[in-house]
Structures are given as C-alpha cells and as structure tokens.
Amino acid sequence: MGFVDTDDMNFTSGKEKFNSTKAYSSSKLAQVMFNSVLQKRLPPEAGTSVLCVSPGTVHTNVARDLPKLVQAAYNLIPLFLFSAQEGSRSALYAATAPEIPEYCKALKADEWPTCAYISHDCRPTRAAIEAHNTRAANEVWEKTLDMIGLPLDAVEKMIQGEEVINVTLSIELQSCST
C-alpha cells in the first residue's frame, strides 16, 4: 500500500509528478482507511458489514505512466496476472459468503483498527499496517466528506433518518438562483 497525503488526495498540487501506480496505491489505502472509519461509525443494529477486497494483480492499464521498457515487460506477463473476471472473485466472495457478516461483527466487537479485508484468494486477511493508523484514517474520513460537501456527522444523521444536505451543492445551487 502507499501513503495518503490528505492535503493532496487528488494529486493536483503539483508537488510531485503524477504516477498512476502511486496514485492507485494511495487510493487503495485511503479506501481501507475511509471504510474502517465508516465501520466504526455504523451501529451494530444497522446490520451493515463494511469491508474491502483485493482483486490481486489484475491486467489493467496501470503501467501507462511507467518507462516504456517496464510497460513492454508488463504486457508480456498477462499469464501471471488475473483477468478482470478473475479479479472479481474476491468481491463476489465478500458479497455472498455466509460467514462474512459474522467475521465483520467479530472484528467490530474486538475493536479491530480496520474494517474486514478480503484478499485476492478469497480469504480474510489483515490490511497493510499503514491502514491501522487511526489518526490518518480519521483525516481521510474528514477530508473525503469535505471534498464531497457532506457534514462530518452525515452517517449518524442518515441512520437517524435525518436529511443530509450536500453543503457544496447547496451553496452552488443558491448562488445560481440569485
């Protein structure tokens, strides 16, 4: 996994040259962190399991920003990579295996720092150690909600049946009507 720069989650600051492999790695870590906070915020009575899955190494265009020689080698090794269909196995397992809800409940009861994580071989496993950083995970949560214009207590409000207003969209609509 990578490192999440919460000040530049979209890689737009220009601090570094964009690299698709680094961006992918950072986005996967951010996904685990965000979902881990979501899992903690959902009460048990919500009956919702939160987990992340790894498709494994799937043949995609992720090598597009790598040096040409590396791209050529990458294109020669499809026999060692999963197809998109093969990569979907872990997601299908996570969505349909009857033992997954109990596994998620057990992690939550043990106050495990991350949400459930299913590996490419359809087995529960530990997320990367970087994902266990609860301070960084909360920063990712807060920054993500800010980026999409939702209040920090959006989940709690939705569970209570309250309406949640997208602050950014609301401001844009108000300025368009004046």
- Angstrom distance (rounded) from CA 53 to CA 88: 9
Query: In terms of domains, do 157 and 141 share one?
Result: no
Query: In terms of domains, do 52 and 128 share one?
Result: yes
Query: In terms of domains, do 91 and 50 share one?
Result: yes
Residue 103 known to be catalytic:
no
Instruction: Report pLDDT for 142.
Output: 96
Query: In terms of domains, do 115 and 153 share one?
Result: no
- Angstrom distance (rounded) from CA 79 to CA 106: 37
Task: Domain count for the chain, please give it.
Answer: 2
Query: In terms of domains, do 156 and 90 share one?
Result: no
Instruction: Report pLDDT for 100.
Output: 94
Residue among 24, 74, 103, 117 flagged as catalytic: 24
Give the residues across from 22 on adjacent strands. none
Instruction: Report pLDDT for 137.
Output: 95
Q: List phi, psi (to 5°) of 108.
A: -65, -40
The domain of 62 spans: 20-147
Instruction: Report pLDDT for 173.
Output: 47
Query: In terms of domains, do 137 and 153 share one?
Result: no
Could you say which DSSP state residue 76 is in?
H
Which residues of the chain fall short of a pLDDT of 50? 173-175
15 domain residue, yes or no: no
Query: In terms of domains, do 142 and 153 share one?
Result: no
93 domain residue, yes or no: yes
Query: In terms of domains, do 129 and 170 share one?
Result: no
Query: In terms of domains, do 128 and 169 share one?
Result: no
84 domain residue, yes or no: yes
Query: In terms of domains, do 73 and 119 share one?
Result: yes
Q: How many helices (H) and strands (E) does the chain have?
A: 8, 3
69 domain residue, yes or no: yes
Query: In terms of domains, do 84 and 157 share one?
Result: no
Query: In terms of domains, do 41 and 124 share one?
Result: yes
77 domain residue, yes or no: yes
Instruction: Report pLDDT for 73.
Output: 80
Instruction: Report pLDDT for 131.
Output: 93
pTM of the complete model beyond 0.75: yes
